[in-house]
Structure 1
Amino acid sequence: MLHNRPMKIAKLELFKVPPRWLFLKITTDDGVEGWGEPVVEGRADTVKSAVTEMGDYLIGQDASHIEDIWQTLYRSGFYRGGPVLTSAISGIDQALWDIKGKSLGVPVYDLLGGAVRDKMRVYSWIGGDKAAEAAEHAKQRVAAGYTALKMNATADFEWIDSALKVQEAVERIAAVREAVGNGIGLAVDFHGRVHRGMAKVLAKELDQYKLLFIEEPVLPENNEALIELTRHTSTPIATGERLYTRWGFKSLLTSGTVDIIQPDLSHTGGIWEGRKIAAMAEAFDVAVAPHCPLGPLTLASSLQLDFCTPNAFIQEQSLEIHYNQHTDLLDYLVDPSVFKYEDGFVARPTKPGLGVEINEAKVREAARAGHQWHNPVWRNIDGSVTEW
């Protein structure tokens, strides 16, 4: 249904739902609804407050003026950026694109230049603390049809750690590679747990396993270390899940040290900001693999970006990920088949907006229970705090 008059934002509602997600519903004065996912994992209440504060700028505004609303929310505060504020903006942006697509009867990717592919490759997380466990889990995922997998590189790691710890990490990854063969893409996430000195050691040791990429080999605040790291590995380097807006990616791209960027569309500023970041990356010959260990609205938003972005090559998704205890990716959808994975790919969504329909009754019921998910706190053997 086409709308010839402004669609004014009338109402914002927030739902904190298990396992660790926050959903936003924006309704216009003529009843069009848009959904988004503004959340920082472990800080859902903080982001919820930020969205509520931003509501003062939103009520009564034309929901179709997405760029102007983004600029207003980003620039209206003297302090800007960072995980909380840009995650709040991200969920709002997603919901506004959902409204716009629904009002025009088209998927969001059609509004951002149209589709560039028919299907998108996805990868699955695998767990297992021991080499044999990880290898078995990998074989199960391949049997389920996935052609690409990702696993954590290590458990806790000290600033400078032992040769034994390195050996254990390498043996676990070697076991997975042997179990699935070279025909399966295998990515390894350092998770920012590894500091510069040990990142060099691990990256060099893992080169022989022909990895799809190594992810966050150092914390984003230490990205200057990537210059040195590129001298120790030929494996593609991926990072970016903890960078916010195009300005956060600017120095990373100009440094020439990254091969794959991983903007998270619930953190970095939303769909439109993600598309701008992807275009910047394309100019630097860098691929895009959106970060997405979150819920169905983040995944739906990511796929809308993927299908209009030439340099997007693979998509993270959280089905059966270890975070999703008791509630999983598909549980809040009216039609879970929109995320049906076949031979390691997901088909291009065709429904308007984000392409998913949220089961609102289930969301409201789940929000009554809510969640209190927080990151675990890890400590070294000497009692000092280490990276999770």
Structure 2
Amino acid sequence: MQDLTITKLELFRVAPRWLFLKLTTAEGIEGWGEPVVEGRAATVEACVRELEEHIIGHSAHRIEDFWQMVYRGGFYRGGPVLMSALSGIDQAMWDIKGKALGVPVYELLGGAVRNRVRIYGWIGGDSPEALAAAARKRVDNGFTAVKMTICDQMEWIDSPAKVAEVGNKMAAMREAVGDEVLIGVDLHGRVHKGQAKAIARALEPYHPFFLEELVLAENNDALKALHDFTSIPIATGERMYSRWDFKRILEQNAVDIVQPDLSHAGGITEVKKIATLAEAYDVALAPHCPLGPISFAAALQIDFNCINALIQETSLGIHYNVGADLTDYLVDPDGFRLRDGHVPLSTKPGLGIEIDEEKVREAAREGHNWKSPIWRNADGSVTEW
């Protein structure tokens, strides 16, 4: 058996808003992970450094043991920072183990259940016309599914005009691309529960693929009533960090699609467990991933292996990607082989990608300090971004 003892840890903060982790073993096998919280990269970087004493000297053969040690050994557990740090380390260890054994990570999880994964493309625009044009462009480029945020600043209870605007945007997109194209709607937690039913009713005639974060994760208790109110599938999970966070909404039959993020929800080890838990409740999986190539590669390993994986988010061309895009840090820019709105099954070992380390090191010299925007309503009060 190869010695997979980890002897070196390196971190790289790179544009547009990502943090990459490289682990190296005693025998020189390298594994890459993406431990980051958007807007808090430096905080997660500090957390990884704090965990370094547990990482160095640990064997990547014992991934589950490391996960349990970090999660349970710190007494205080969970939350975005610790779980994102653990996620990136977990990804890198799986990458090492797959490379050492010469197989993709999904083979170590039990093998593939599909030959390709459908992805959706992000679209943006402030008007119905702009969104319709962006949706048509994505479809012309081969996508069969798109997603967008459909509202901006929202009061706790907003005007009928704001609600109508949401419906008008969705109507324009549906007219532009027809009924065969899937249109996911991300509310981004901007809608409070008092307005959520009106928003769902305005969108329902146009058959959205799902409503994502219709309310904030801390208001998930409202999801059961909303789930029973609308025929649109309810999706949530990007701001939930372990199977214990997902357990209650699954028990309540309050969600149709769970969206754990491979860089926030404990990495491959934990998201596999979340997927299995969701499968037991007949709930689909659609991993959240507006991040970089390592997080996306980790998500694909889950998608190939989990029977309830429905669709995969990708940051390719997303408006956040200023200064670098999804494939810019890959040796092969066509490394994911994105074709006709799908990613085909990869047979490359580990996470299945080769990072352009020279480009990463060069970008890390400049780094980034990306922060989430602060939004305010017309009266000056802070509102959800």
Shorter-chain TM band: over 0.9
What's 1:232 paired with?
A: 229
Confirm or deny that 1:383 pairs with 2:380: yes
Task: Report the Cα offset of residue 355 of structure 1.
Answer: 0.1
Match of 2:101 in 1: 104
**Distance (Å, rounded) in 2 between the aligned partners of 1:47 and 1:130:** 36
For residue 48 of structure 1, give the secondary structure of its aligned residue in structure 2: helix
1:313 Cα deviation after fit = 1.1
1:244-323 correspondence to structure 2 within 5 Å: 244-323=241-320
Is residue 125 of structure 2 the alignment partner of residue 128 of structure 1? yes
Once residues 254 and 10 of structure 2 are traced to their aligned partners in structure 1, the CA distance between those partners, rounded to angstroms, is 41
| 1:184 counterpart = 2:185 | no
Matched-pair contact (CA < 8 Å) for 2:3–2:26: no
Aligned positions of 1:318-333 closer than 5 A: 318-333=315-330
Q: Is the 8 A contact 2:15 2:363 kept in 1?
A: yes
- Checking the alignment, whether the CA contact within 8 Å between 2:118 and 2:341 is kept in structure 1 is yes
Distance (whole Å) between structure 2 residues aligned to residue 380 and residue 340 of structure 1:
42
Shift of 1:338: 2.4
Runs of 4+ in 1 over 2 A off after TM superposition: none
Give the alignment of 1:56-75 within 5 angstroms. Answer: 56-75=53-72
Does the Cα contact within 8 Å between 1:338 and 1:349 map onto a contact in 2?
no
Residue from 19, 30, 33 that aligns with 2:27: 30
The one-letter code of the counterpart of 1:373 is W
Aligned-pair distance for 1:5? 4.0
SS in 2 for 1:128: coil
Deviation at 1:232, TM superposition (A): 2.5
Q: 5 Å matches for 1:6-85?
A: 6-85=3-82
Aligned to 1:354: 351
The amino acid across from 2:230 in the alignment is T
2:332 aligned residue (321, 331, 335): 335
- Tell me how far apart the structure 1 counterparts of residues 327 and 268 of structure 2 sit (CA, whole Å): 21
Q: Is the 8 A contact 2:21 2:89 kept in 1?
A: yes
Give the Cα separation in 2 of the matches to 1:378 and 1:136. 26
User: Secondary structure, in 3 states, of the residue corresponding to 2:335?
Assistant: helix
Secondary structure at the residue paired with 1:11? strand
- 1:318 is paired with a residue whose SS is coil
The structural deviation recorded for 1:231 is 3.2
The Cα shift of 1:228 comes to 1.6
1:268 aligned partner, one-letter code: A
- In 1, distance between residues paired with 2:137 and 2:123? 9
Confirm or deny: 8 A CA contact 1:42 1:375 kept in the other structure: yes
For this pair of structures, how many residues does the alignment match? 385
CA–CA distance in 2 between the matches of 1:197 and 1:91? 37
Instruction: Give me the whole-angstrom Cα distance separating, in 1, the residues matched to 2:363 and 2:87.
Output: 22
User: Which residue matches 2:92?
Assistant: 95
CA–CA distance in 1 between the matches of 2:225 and 2:280? 23
Contact 1:204 1:232 in 2 (8 A): no
Fraction of identical pairs, as percent: 62
| 152, 158, 165: which one aligns with 2:162 | 165
Q: Partners in 1 of 2:286 and 2:131 — Cα distance? A: 23
CA distance in 1 between counterparts of 2:81 and 2:58 reads 23
- Deviation of residue 153 (structure 1)? 2.0
Structure 1 counterpart of 2:219? 222
Q: Would you say the 8 A contact 2:261–2:287 is kept in 1?
A: yes
1:27-47 per-residue CA deviation (whole Å, 9 max, x = no partner) reads 011100000000000000000
Whole-Å Cα distance in 1 between the matches of residues 374 and 128 of structure 2?
24
Q: Which runs of 5+ in 1 are unaligned?
A: none
Superposed CA RMSD in Å reads: 0.7
Q: What is the CA–CA distance in structure 1 between the aligned matches of 2:143 and 2:283, rounded to whole Å?
A: 24
**Structure-2 residue corresponding to 1:151:** 148
